[in-house]
Amino acid sequence: MTQEGQNAEIQARAEAARIEAVEGARVAAERARTEVYAGLPGPVLHALTLRELAANLPEIEHLTLAPELLTPLLSRLIVAASEG
């Protein structure tokens, strides 16, 4: 094998090791995040999900809430507040 071939092989192995290290760290971080979420109550998970969803939605300039949509939501909030 030529010197160029050896250099290319060394570089390829180094790049593969770097990718493996980065991906391993990414997997470990995701695993840690999942373990934290596993211990959270359902309502907290819903709130986190809605926050993440809201962060990725396009800007909403106008929003109209009809009474038939708002009334059940407010009723559920009142019931949850009185129970909790």
User: Domain limits at 53?
Assistant: 1-57
Is 65 inside a domain boundary?
no
| pLDDT band, very low/low/confident/very high, at 23 (cuts 50, 70, 90) | very high
Is 70 inside a domain boundary?
no
Mean pLDDT of 35-53: 90
Residue 43: closest CA among 35, 51, 31: 51
Q: In this model, does residue 59 exceed pLDDT 70? A: yes
- Residue 84 pLDDT: 65
Is 68 inside a domain boundary?
no
CA–CA separation, 82 and 79 (whole Å): 5
CA–CA separation, 42 and 40 (whole Å): 7
* Domains of the chain: total: 1
Is 24 inside a domain boundary?
yes
| pLDDT band, very low/low/confident/very high, at 60 (cuts 50, 70, 90) | confident
Are 45 and 37 within 8 A, CB to CB?
Answer: yes
DSSP designation for 57 = S
Q: What is the model's pTM?
A: 0.46
